[in-house]
Amino acid sequence: MSKKTFKALISRGFDSQLAQSIIDKGLTLNKLKQYHSEELLELGIDKAKVESILSEQRPPIPSETVIKLLYESKRTCCICRDSSRSIIIHHIKEWHKSKDHSEENLVVLCLEHHNDAHTKKGLSLNLTEKEIRESKMKWINTVKNKDALTILGLGSQEFGGRWDYFNHNRIFEMYLNKKLNNFGYRTTYTVQQKNLINDLGTFSIEDEDKTQYYSFGDGFMLYYYMKELFDDVLKTIPLIDITDKYNREDIRALIRPGKFISFQGGFYFKDVSNKRSGKNQRHLCYYQKDKIRMEFEFDAYETTSNSAWGSHLRGKK
């Protein structure tokens, strides 16, 4: 209920600190609507918002738009980028002039910079519409790769931080489409000398009678090359981390076809082909909670180690 109330209040122009204090008192929007104006004022709500709550003259910002805005901005003001500050959703073109609740007309600001956006110094605003739009785009672009960098960190921890599986063809496709190169990889020269990669920097997953592709003498070296290549690709992908957003409302607001997501949770793995060597060792992987199921199939031949093949990607993890 608190998440729903928070979104409802934020969408009506409340700052995050005031919204949280109302929630901490066990109040919801419906309960606020039953209060008298004097009681609402005592809660710290200003007169304009009191009138808005009691009459709902202005429609709230759509919930999906609120979710997307807060996610893309990391609930942080795009001007100062100080995540400790209370925030508010600001209309770049004022509502009473634009009647525009679209995402393009909205931005997350802290209270100080929200005040700057509404006050003038001389004949001009302290914070102009152009400055806000430019800061918004710069901050969103900065934020986009934060989740990818976090995932990169998980994959490069000194102990235990290795990838258990690669969808090689899909990764190579992105590597080539993004026109990346392997010139700066520590392992490129070595794997070239061993004829493990071609001139494009990719390699074929050949069908051999073994449990997983990397199970050969120089397999560990090819794995580290593949890890460098995947890390490079991952830096270019804006990931949407839904680990703490696994609910229908947030998923519908954030995910669209073609988007890349990351998720950390306890997955189930099931062998669906009963094949133990070579290509096409089809395995099903799924996660289910609150009647939402996430699933995909993968070829266990493309796992990266015997441990990954025999233990890490089997049963419930």
Query: Is pLDDT at 130 greater than 80 in this prediction?
Result: yes
pLDDT for the residue numbered 96: 77
pLDDT of residue 277: 94
Q: What's the CA gap between 308 and 312, in Å, rounded?
A: 5
Q: What is the pLDDT of residue 149?
A: 65
How large is the C-alpha radius of gyration of the chain?
25
pLDDT tens for 211-230 read: 999 999 999 999 999 999 99
Token pair of 196 as six digits: 């493990």
Q: Are 23 and 3 in contact (CB under 8 A)?
A: no
pLDDT over threshold 80, residue 159: no
Per the prediction, the chain carries an average pLDDT of 89
What is the distance between the alpha carbons of residues 103 and 111, in angstroms, rounded to a whole number?
19
Concatenate the DSSP letters of all residues of 124-180 into one string. Answer: EESS-HHHHHHHHHHHHHHHHTHHHHHHHHHHT-TTT---SB--HHHHHHHHHHTT-
pLDDT in tens, 174-189: 999 999 999 999 999 9
pLDDT at 155 over 60: no
Query: 94-103, 109-118, 128-137: which has the minimum mean pLDDT?
Result: 94-103
Tokens 């003259």 correspond to 57
Instruction: List pLDDT tens digits, range 246-288.
Output: 999 999 999 999 999 989 889 999 999 989 999 999 999 999 9
Mean pLDDT of 133-151: 81
Q: What is the DSSP string of 110-121?
A: EHHHHHHHH-EE
pLDDT (0 to 100) of residue 237: 86
Question: What gap in Å lies between CA 191 and CA 228, rounded to an integer?
Answer: 12
Tens of pLDDT, residues 60-95: 888 999 999 999 999 999 999 999 999 999 999 988
Higher pLDDT, 167 or 99: 167
In this prediction, residue 158 carries a pLDDT of: 46
As a whole number of angstroms, the distance between CA 114 and CA 107 comes to 10
Residue 261 has which token pair? Answer: 């997501």
Angular region, 293: left φ>0, alpha ψ -120 to 50, beta rest: beta
CA–CA distance, 132 with 121 (Å, rounded to integer): 16
Mean pLDDT, residues 38-51 taken together: 91
Nearest to 205 by CA among 170, 178, 181, 155: 170
Measured CA to CA, the distance from residue 226 to residue 233 in angstroms comes to: 11
